[in-house]
Amino acid sequence: MPKEPKKPSSKKPQGPIQSVKGMRDILPDEMRFLERIRKAFLNIAVSYGFEGIETPILEDTDLFVRGVGKATDVVQKQMFSFRTKGGDPVTMRPEYTAGVVRAYYENGMFNLPQPLKLWYWGPVFRYERPQAGRHRQFHQLGAEIIGEINAVLDAQLIQFFTIMLKELGITAYTVEINSLGCKVCRSGYRQAVVNYFRPDIRKMCPDCKRRLKESPLRVFECDKEKCREIAEKAPQTVDHLCQECHSHFKEVLEYLDEIDIPYHLNPKLVRGLDYYTKTVFEIWPEDQAGYALGGGGRYDNLVEMLGEKMAPAVGFSAGIERLAGELKKIGAPIVKDKDIPTVFLAQLGELGRKKSLKLFEELRRAGFRVMESFGRNSIKSQLKIANREETGIALILGQKEALDGTIIVRDMTAGTQETVPLSKLINELQKRFALTETNKSA
């Protein structure tokens, strides 16, 4: 009997696995921008007396519900939340500040000399529609000052942010600033906002109707044209500030004037998180296109909300990918670090390759950055890479040199070369780089 034909498989053919929607790879070209941003950020942070902190990616969900605000879009729509196998509700951090404050209280950091100045850098997660400049996993840098209420610190953090931008080459930006007041004066302002929008509530989008009931100031975040038109003549926070908040805001602006940081008063700036009090600010590209590069403000009640002690605080954060995107937009070059003397180590033959590994580490320990292409056998192709990377000096270690205990030192700019004993190589390189620096200074 003829065999019955095999039934077609119902299984889908297995193709290549791709990244999860909204997540993405950061490739070497972009990593160069990110490393440049990190270096500029940390140089300023250390100079300003900040110390690093890192909090867990997974936190108790209630931390963000209580800290960020139940009515915020972050909590309502954007959190990656789930239950562990043990049934505990956890959330992948959507922002850093709440976690930093939790760590501050939980670890008794209020017993340390105040104010405490902390910096952070790492991934955060928000479930939102992937689009240009927005991903479900992205990275933030930020700085927090906890334990001091003086307005000078608000100004110092804005100064920190703007200096970082300038050192990155981003000079065309706008500082938007406002004051949200405190618990004493904000209740009156909230009521004024509700009274203003109430006659037009039927014309507003469903989100704004909800916001008006749960957190009225969130209405100013709406990007719907009709809601923005209605909000155009809404009451301004600065007209409802108590004397203390008015004085604090005035001082912040005076400090900014003193350090020549231009700003724009934006009465509708509220930021997206409920913990803010008094000063809030955002920094935008000068053309106001796309999205803010970062922002922050004061959050004097958050420590008390999450713990039992009072500690005023102020901070800022910035989207690292957004900063990298702005660097690309303005055509900022990736400036290679010229401070570290760099050589290219080329090898030829099996013995030359074997000796190169040991020499590579000796050069690194002596303070040199060493580039190489150990997988290539052709000297021509290796020197081509050295030229492409603009390495001024190439070291060539072939079979003969490996046996003789020597190495060829080639000046890639002049096209000259000489053979040097391996035992004197470090001294020879140090002399050459010292002479180069002297000539640059002259």
Report the C-alpha gap between 304 and 312 in whole angstroms: 9
- Tens digits of per-residue pLDDT, 198-234? 898 889 999 888 888 888 888 888 888 889 899 888 8
- Tens digits of per-residue pLDDT, 299-318? 999 998 898 889 999 999 99
Angle between the N-to-C axes of helices 183-197 and 206-214, in degrees from 0 to 180, rounded to the nearest 10: 140
Contacts of 227 (CB under 8 A, 6+ apart): 204, 205, 208, 219
Report the C-alpha gap between 97 and 101 in whole angstroms: 6
* Residue-wise burial string across 349-359, b where 16 or more C-beta atoms lie within 10 A, e elsewhere: bebbbebbeeb
Confidence band of 376 (pLDDT split at 50, 70, 90): confident
Token digits for 314? 């102020």
The structure tokens 């000399």 sit at 113
Amino acid at residue number 321: E
The structure tokens 């498989």 sit at 9
Confidence band of 119 (pLDDT split at 50, 70, 90): very high
Do 407 and 389 form a contact (C-beta atoms < 8 A)?
Answer: no
* 342-437 CATH pick, 3.40.50.800, 3.40.80.10, 1.20.1250.20, 3.40.50.720: 3.40.50.800
Q: Is the pLDDT reported for residue 142 higher than 90?
A: yes
Do 127 and 77 form a contact (C-beta atoms < 8 A)?
Answer: yes
* CA-to-CA separations, 244 to 178, 213, 240, 306, in angstroms, rounded: 15, 28, 12, 24
Question: Which residues in the chain are classed under CATH 3.40.50.800?
Answer: 342-437
Q: How are beta strands 137-146 and 116-125 bridged, if at all?
A: antiparallel
28-182+242-329 classified as CATH 3.30.930.10: yes
Q: Is the pLDDT reported for residue 164 higher than 80?
A: yes
Strand order in the sheet with 416-421: 369-372, 342-347, 393-397, 406-411, 416-421
Confidence band of 56 (pLDDT split at 50, 70, 90): very high
- CA angle 272/101/322 to nearest 5° reads 45
Q: What percent of the chain has pLDDT over 70?
A: 93
Question: Which residues in the chain are classed under CATH 3.30.930.10?
Answer: 28-182+242-329
